Structure 1
Amino acid sequence: MTRERVQSDFGKYVLFDVDGTLIDATDNQRRVWKTWAGRYGLDPDAVHELALRTRPMETFAEVAPDRDPQECLAVLHELEDEDVRSGVYGAFDGASELLSALPPGCWGLVTSNYEHRVRGRFARTGLPVPGVVVDAAAVDEGKPSPVPYLLAAGRLGAEPEDCLVVEDAPSGVESGRRAGMTVWGVNTPGGVDGVHRHFTSLREAVPDILAFVAGG
């Protein structure tokens, strides 16, 4: 899908991960993987634990090496799409206030998920969707490669050094760091290795994120 570059007069920009950062999808992901594992007669807890650390194709290779990975992926996508339609989602405390306060053109989303699911979850939680969304379909190399965050910066018309990345996962932190951006971690009890600053919650980070964008 072709995207036009968003032009902005802002000097600072912020790029958000989605799941685990803005949207609390932990229970949803657990249910999806449990259902997926049941389809193949696998231990749901073991599958989910592995899926937290690996990308889907790597998970399939480990837990179902005798299965067609494309078939496994198609089943997973079917379950995830159904969960977007019928699952219960919640935005993290502070997400609505933060995104509503950010001027259009100075922020975007960088996700390993797909844009239609992000839009569905945002619609369910009432969060605004920015003009720039870089999803799994937009790049050949996902996180921890720097490519997704560099693409988002380019679409915003921003230099990497002027971008703040807000993440909750090691692969996303590494992606932002390799892109040459400032990286803050949220929603984890302890700081993720590599972050420049750590906040135990998104709510705690809201004033500082707004100050960053304002040039403070």
Structure 2
Amino acid sequence: MTSELVQAGPRKYVLFDVDGTLIDAVGNQRRVWATWAGRYGLDADDVYRVALRTRPMETFAKVAPDQDPKECLAALHELEDDDVRSGVYAAFDGASELLSTLPLEAWALVTSNYEHRVRGRFARTGLPVPRVLVDAAAVAEGKPSPVPYLLAAEQLGAQPENCLVIEDAPSGVEAGLRAGMTVWGVNAAVAVAGVHRHFGSLREAVPDILAYARLEGSAGVV
């Protein structure tokens, strides 16, 4: 029998959120916002509750409307950069196995953070960085806009319908759904509204994510 390379179908791609999905940064985020709030004489818990639901400039407008938002952002960035250098970070269980197994050209990072911080955290946790990384500076509209995920797909050369989004937060889930992609939620006790599948942890999702990536687009010899 003659060996022949056959294409099973269109390649599948996986697009990952970072904080809360691959990197456990909740404690770090709380400390950064608490320190920021202290500088402005604000209640740390109140500020963090707002920061969880909004982007920084929107947070400043709500919790510190009398302050210069550019100065507020500069202070936040200073604290976040310092945290990347000195804070303690951990990758979620399963992240290293998952990212090391997926081909680098088959996945991307889509984050509301900035690339230099993501690279710093990945270096400290030993995670690989893919070719495509869409950060806050790459788009004019962040999550829940679909723009970040659509840009990642474009840079991968993928169609949205062939992309799987892995997210932990409502704004990211909404972004993936609006982009016309399959969205799975991880690292939450309760499923975020709209997800196609829910996993209590990233570790639980690893076999299914790898199966999704390999189900189509793999070549076999027959």
Q: Is TM more than 0.5 here?
A: yes
Task: Report the CA distance between 1:104 and its aligned residue.
Answer: 1.7
In structure 2, how many angstroms separate the alpha carbons of the residues matched to 1:154 and 1:130? Answer: 15
Q: Do the aligned partners of 1:15 and 1:166 also contact (CA within 8 Å) in 2?
A: yes
What is the 5 A alignment of 1:1-216? Answer: 11-215=11-215
Q: Give the total of aligned pairs.
A: 208
Q: Secondary structure at the match of 1:80?
A: helix
Residue 193 of structure 1 aligns with an amino acid whose one-letter code is: A
Deviations 1:44-103 (A, max 9, x none): 111111111111111101111000000000000000000000000000000000000001
Q: Distance in 1 between matches of 2:86 and 2:27?
A: 13
Aligned AA (2:135) = D
CA pair 59-105 structure 1, distance change in 2 beyond 3 A: same
Choose between structure 1 and 2 for higher RCO, CA contacts under 8 A separated by at least 6 residues.
Answer: 2
TM-score between the two structures when normalised by the length of structure 1: 0.95
Name which of structure 1's ranges 18-27 and 42-51 shifts more when overlaid on structure 2: 42-51
Which consecutive residues of structure 1, in runs of 5 or more, have no partner in the other structure?
A: 1-8
CA contact (8 A) 2:144 2:173 kept: yes
Distance verdict in 2 for CA 1:171–1:201, change over 3 Å: same
**For the Cα contact (< 8 Å) 2:10–2:162, is it kept in 1?**
no
Deviations 1:17-45 (A, max 9, x none): 00000000000000000000000000011
Larger radius of gyration: 2
Which TM-score applies when normalising by structure 2?
0.92
Q: Mean Cα displacement is larger for which, 14-23 or 56-65?
A: 56-65
What percentage of residue pairs aligned between the two structures are identical?
Answer: 79
Task: State the distance in 1 between where 2:10 and 2:92 align.
Answer: 26
CA RMSD of aligned residues (A): 1.0
Counterpart-to-counterpart distance in 1, 2:156 and 2:214: 16
Query: Residue deviations 1:84-138, cap 9 Å, x none?
Result: 0000000000000000000120000000000000000000100000000000000
